[in-house]
């Protein structure tokens, strides 16, 4: 129906509605009006016109189905299901799809399977469309276990269905089965080698699997299909970065137009590349405008990269100011706490160092993601506490590091020394026995002990605890 005729129908409805009357429309005219609302995504009068249509044509199946869809749109699944039960028509694909959707959204997957099995038994001739429609609904609802089960059932009946394979690829990716998802995605590409979506998905899967060369190749194919997608360029540049091809990553980032919307995302990534190339002035220049603006940046790593560039260029005061600003904005961020703890330790700010290292300790306790560099700060804090005579606190910090990173260099030796200072020989022996000769030699050399004299004494078979006592006698030891 032409636009003018739709406007005429709408005006007729509005005029009668204003007068408090029901104008007569046949079922087709109601359908046309409702279709126009859906196409324009303007639902102002949708429910009113639909209600009028059902008053005028209460037995019209199409209008009843529209009512069911409206209930589902409003997430009133029980009402939709109740209405479906009143509609006598059978072998109606729309009704069967809506029924199954309601079962899924009401967490009644068993009923959805039971009804699907009934359709299979009855020889339903639109069964493939049922599977194609319901599988994405389950994925969109994040019912991934159920989605995988439903898709698998569908593929047993329709093994060549590309929609189902695409949905299976998605759910495998979400569930972390990237290897299997890659296999499915390659099958899809074999069927349609010019699909931007398939190539971009394959690239993303390879990047998740740390196969960066293959990811870059897949992204290149995706960009051949459609070179207007900046997101794929960002992912490609990330893979180049992870592959240590920083110059090429910079080229790709520079292909992306920088605007207000994406600047806070692209510029920090670009700066990271320059940091890797040790071009700190370039990184500093790129980030200055972003970090000096008022407000909180979305990614804390932007502050960290800027602080790094300042420190490398000798702008220590600026680095300190930005570190304090980042701490104010992200008071529980482990990386910021780690940097601040080290800064206070280096500055000899005892009270502040203790406060921040305590916060760091508890933040690490709460964190699900454990990174070695974060525990290095705790390790240095332990050394600091040891030198301040806070032996029990030092042991507490060393132990936290040891629990997560038992292979960290010198950790056994530092624990041994701390226990020795307490006179706990049992724990001293436990950790001292795990210390390599090289670690011990390096440790003693850094302590300021005369190594040649120590070698001579060692020939006389001095016990291990006596060697460490020699270390402890040296008041200038800073290790």
Q: Which tokens sit at 202?
A: 């394959």
Higher pLDDT: 130 or 343? It is: 130
Phi/psi at 330 (nearest 5 deg)?
Answer: -125, 70
Place of tokens 């570190």: 323
What does the pLDDT read at residue 323?
92
At residue 370, the pLDDT reads 61
Confidence check: pLDDT of 319 > 60: yes
Average pLDDT of every residue of the chain: 87
The count of other CB atoms within 10 Å of the CB of residue 257 is 8
With residue 473 as reference, give the H or E element that holds it. Answer: helix 464-473
Q: What is the pLDDT of residues 157-212, one digit of tens each?
A: 999 999 999 999 999 999 999 999 999 999 999 999 999 999 999 999 999 999 99
Q: Does the structure show a pLDDT above 50 at 283?
A: yes
Residues 6+ apart with CB under 8 A from 57: 26, 27, 30, 63
Q: pLDDT at residue 472 above 70?
A: no
Task: Give tens-digit pLDDT for 90-125.
Answer: 889 999 999 999 999 999 999 999 999 999 999 999
| Dihedral angle over CA of 344, 346, 351, 357, nearest 10 | 60
306: buried, middle or exposed (CB in 10 Å: 19+, 13-18, 0-12)?
buried
Highest mean pLDDT among 336-345, 452-461, 469-478: 336-345
In whole angstroms, what is the distance from residue 377 CA to residue 116 CA?
A: 58
CB 298 within 8 Å of CB 330:
no
Residue 428 has pLDDT above 90, yes or no: no
Where is average pLDDT lowest: 247-251, 427-431, 470-474? 470-474
Mean pLDDT confidence for 413-439? 85
- Residue 364: closest CA among 384, 349, 379: 379
Distances (CA, A) of 28 to 57, 91, 376: 11, 22, 73
Residues near 20 by Cβ (< 8 Å), separated by ≥ 6?
none
| pLDDT band at residue 72 under the 50/70/90 scheme | very high
């Amino acid at each position: 129906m032409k636009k003018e005729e739709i406007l005429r129908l709408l005006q007729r409805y509005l005029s009668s509605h204003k007068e408090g009357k029901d104008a007569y429309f046949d079922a087709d005219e109601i359908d046309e009006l409702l279709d126009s609302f859906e196409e324009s995504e303007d639902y102002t009068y949708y429910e009113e016109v639909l209600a009028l249509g059902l008053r005028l044509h209460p037995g019209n199946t199409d209008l009843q189905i529209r009512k069911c869809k409206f209930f589902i749109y409003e997430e009133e699944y029980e009402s939709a299901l109740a209405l479906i039960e009143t509609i006598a028509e059978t072998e109606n694909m729309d009704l069967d799809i809506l029924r199954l959707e309601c079962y899924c959204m009401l967490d009644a997957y068993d009923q959805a399977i039971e009804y699907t099995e009934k359709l299979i038994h009855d020889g339903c001739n639109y069964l493939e469309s049922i599977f194609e429609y319901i599988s994405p609904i389950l994925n969109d609802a994040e019912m991934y276990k159920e989605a995988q089960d439903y898709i698998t059932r569908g593929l047993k009946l329709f093994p060549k269905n590309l929609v189902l394979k695409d949905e299976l690829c998605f759910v495998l990716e979400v569930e972390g089965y990237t290897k299997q998802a890659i296999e499915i995605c390659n099958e899809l590409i074999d069927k349609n080698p010019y699909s931007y979506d398939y190539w971009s998905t394959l690239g993303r899967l390879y990047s998740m699997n740390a196969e960066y060369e293959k990811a870059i190749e897949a992204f290149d194919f995706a960009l051949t299909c459609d070179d207007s997608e900046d997101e794929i360029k960002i992912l490609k540049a990330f893979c180049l970065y992870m592959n240590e091809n920083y110059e090429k990553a910079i080229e790709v980032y520079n292909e992306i137009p920088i605007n207000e919307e994406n600047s806070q995302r692209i510029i920090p990534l670009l700066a990271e590349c320059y940091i890797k190339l040790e071009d700190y002035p370039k990184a500093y220049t790129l980030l200055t405008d972003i970090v000096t603006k008022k407000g909180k940046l979305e990614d804390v790593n932007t502050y960290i990269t800027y602080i790094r560039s300042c420190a490398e260029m000798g702008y220590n005061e600026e680095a300190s100011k930005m570190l304090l600003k980042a701490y104010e904005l992200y008071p529980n961020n482990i990386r910021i706490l780690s940097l601040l703890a080290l800064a206070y330790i280096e500055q000899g700010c005892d009270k502040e160092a203790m406060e921040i290292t305590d916060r760091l300790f508890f933040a690490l306790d709460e964190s699900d993601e454990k990174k070695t560099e974060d525990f290095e700060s705790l390790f240095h804090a332990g050394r600091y506490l040891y030198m301040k005579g806070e032996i029990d606190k030092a042991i507490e910090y060393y132990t936290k590091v040891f629990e997560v990173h038992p292979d960290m260099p010198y950790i056994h030796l530092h624990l041994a020394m701390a226990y020795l200072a307490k006179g706990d020989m049992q724990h001293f022996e436990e950790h001292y026995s795990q210390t390599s000769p090289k670690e011990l030699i390096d440790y003693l050399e850094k302590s300021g002990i005369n190594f040649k004299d120590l070698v001579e004494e060692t020939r006389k078979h001095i016990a291990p605890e006596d060697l460490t006592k020699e270390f402890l006698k040296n008041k200038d030891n800073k290790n």
